Amino acid sequence: MTYSGSIATPVGVIAVHSDGVAITRVTWPRAGRSVASVPGESQDAERDPLLAEALAQLGAYFAGERSGFDLPFDLGPQSDVTNAVLHALYDTVGHGQTVTYGELAERSGTTVPARAIGAIMGANPIPIIVPCHRVVASDGLGGYSGGAPGEGLLTKRWLLEHEGALPTALF
């Protein structure tokens, strides 16, 4: 059984998916599509305490009351390299910090080139909780596939400003 719920945030509505044991996905639903309309999923945190906790932790994060997440998560079927990179990110890059693609490649202990890190970040099934927004290019923000369609970099900038990793934009 998959449980789903959503939360309104400053970077749009975020949907959280759980299998009752672990958080399995975090997404930005497309406009006009309800989380509850996905077959086999439900919008009821009342039936899944883990989902309720994930939504509460995300709410506290966006309210500035929480800087990290204490939730079990399952990245799903991934290569060993992808698992190593995403776990290195989760374990070593804290709130208010950033890391370059190359630095994360080194931290992961893999031989993956820095260029491949961007693809791994884009495939992260659990953004924000596994904080791919904290991975930046050596010469700027880099990319971001999270957020509402077409607003990835705005979302990344907002998240990094919210965490104090970037100064607040003047405009």
pLDDT greater than 60 at residue 34: no
46 falls within a domain: yes
100 falls within a domain: yes
pLDDT of 146: 87
- Tell me the DSSP string of 10-61: TTEEEEEEE-SSSEEEEE-PPTT--GGGSTTEEE-GGG-HHHHHHHHHHHHH
112 falls within a domain: yes
Pair (106, 155) in one structural domain: yes
72 falls within a domain: no
Smallest CA-to-CA distance from 25 within 59, 101, 76, 100 is with 76
pLDDT greater than 60 at residue 46: yes
CATH number of the domain that 48 lies in?
3.30.160
pTM for this entry:
0.89
Higher pLDDT, 10 or 114: 10
CA distances from 68 to 135, 144, 154 (A): 16, 20, 21
Mean pLDDT (whole number) for 25-47: 64
Pair (52, 101) in one structural domain: no
| Catalytic site positions | 132
96 falls within a domain: yes
22 falls within a domain: yes
Is residue 141 within 8 A of residue 132, CB to CB? The reply is no
pLDDT of 171: 53
pLDDT bucket at 43, cuts 50 / 70 / 90: low
pLDDT greater than 50 at residue 38: no
Cβ neighbors of 144 (< 8 A, separation 6 or more) are 121, 132, 133, 152, 153, 155, 156
Range of the domain at 102: 80-162
Weakest-pLDDT range from 68-72, 100-104, 112-116 = 112-116
Ramachandran sector of residue 113 (left: φ over 0; alpha: ψ -120 to 50; beta: rest): beta
Q: How many CB atoms lie within 10 A of CB 127?
A: 23
169 falls within a domain: no
The residues pairing with 27 across neighbouring beta strands, listed in sequence order, are: 15
